[in-house]
Structure 1
Amino acid sequence: MTTGGEMTPVELYEKLKQAWSLETSSAWQPDNPARGQCSVTAIAVHDILGGDIMKTRTPGGTHFYNRVNGVKWDLTISQFDRPIPFEDLPSDRAEAMADTSPAQYELLRKRLGL
């Protein structure tokens, strides 16, 4: 944790790896735990760290990530087996939520202790 008690993105990533499951994304796989977690994770990261929710187009569809204090944080990048483009298109909670479900979001929040 930072000195102010706030979680850093790296600490948050470690917690997310333990929290992701088939219940937080139907695309989850044991050998690729970040798979399909981008939207629900982007919303949770926004809850914890603030900043902006961003998106980019990939061959598999829209991918969500965050920008916090001007720094891009993609805590689900490990789901990809090759580099993806980052268009840094503005998005928001509603658009990211349309790619997940309230139940998945609430479960991830609970597992993160929110």
Structure 2
Amino acid sequence: MIPWSLLDLDNALRASWAVDTCSPDDQADWGPGNPAWGHCDITALIVNDVFGGDLIVGEVHLDGTQHGFHWWNRLPNGVELDVTREQFQRGQVVTAARVVERPPGPLPRRWEEYLLLRERVINHLGPLPEPV
């Protein structure tokens, strides 16, 4: 196996994001100009598959109104990694961050999109560690 760099994983994720892996409530605003849009949850899960650590979720606010949630990772060494942060191009602010436990087994929401994104990343990189 050839070792990956963090850039390899980042490039594989970016090449794999598409409207069919975007969160259904964000698909109307998804486009190639902002491919990270609507992908934070399943992207954070794939980063968690590779590195472990914690999943973090925060509230997204725009002009004082909550507009959903944002997910990212805290690696086992304490470094926070947010691969999809650039999706917020309209001045959104993320607040109220908290660590959440990854649900065991198939996800209750977005399981098919997660599997599709994971498959695409595997096509770029080769086998990934099994989900925790």
TM over 0.5: yes
| Structure with more strand by fraction | 2
In the TM superposition, residue 86 of structure 1 has moved relative to its aligned partner by 4.9
Q: Counterpart in 1 of 2:55?
A: 53
Could you give the per-residue CA deviations for residues 32-62 of structure 1, whole angstroms, max 9, x where no partner exists?
Answer: 1000000010111100111110011112211
Instruction: Flag the 1:83–1:43 CA change in 2: closer, same or farther, 3 A.
Output: same
Letter in 2 for 1:33: P
Quote the Cα distance in structure 2 between the aligned partners of 1:93 and 1:21. Answer: 24
Larger Rg: 2
Deviation at 1:77, TM superposition (A): 0.5
Deviations 1:55-107 (A, max 9, x none): 1111221110001121111100110013633543111323xx45x41110100
Which stretches in structure 1 are left out of the alignment for 5+ residues?
none
> Matched residues in 1 for 2:96 and 2:10: separation?
22
Partner of 2:20: 23
User: Which runs of no fewer than 5 residues in structure 2 stay unpaired?
Assistant: 62-66, 123-127
What SS does structure 2 have at the residue aligned with 1:53?
Answer: strand
Q: Closer, same or farther in 2 for the Cα pair 1:72/1:87, shift >3 Å?
A: farther
2:88 to 65, 80, 92: 80
Instruction: Work out the CA distance in 1 between the residues paired with 2:42 and 2:13.
Output: 11
* TM-score normalised per structure 2: 0.72
Aligned length: 107
Q: What is the TM-score when the length of structure 1 is the normalising length? A: 0.82
Tell me by how many angstroms 1:9 deviates: 3.3
What is the identity percentage for the equivalent residue pairs of Structure 1 and Structure 2?
34
- Measure the CA separation in 1 of the matches of 2:57 and 2:120: 24
Structure 1 residue ranges (4+ consecutive) displaced by more than 4 angstroms after TM superposition: none
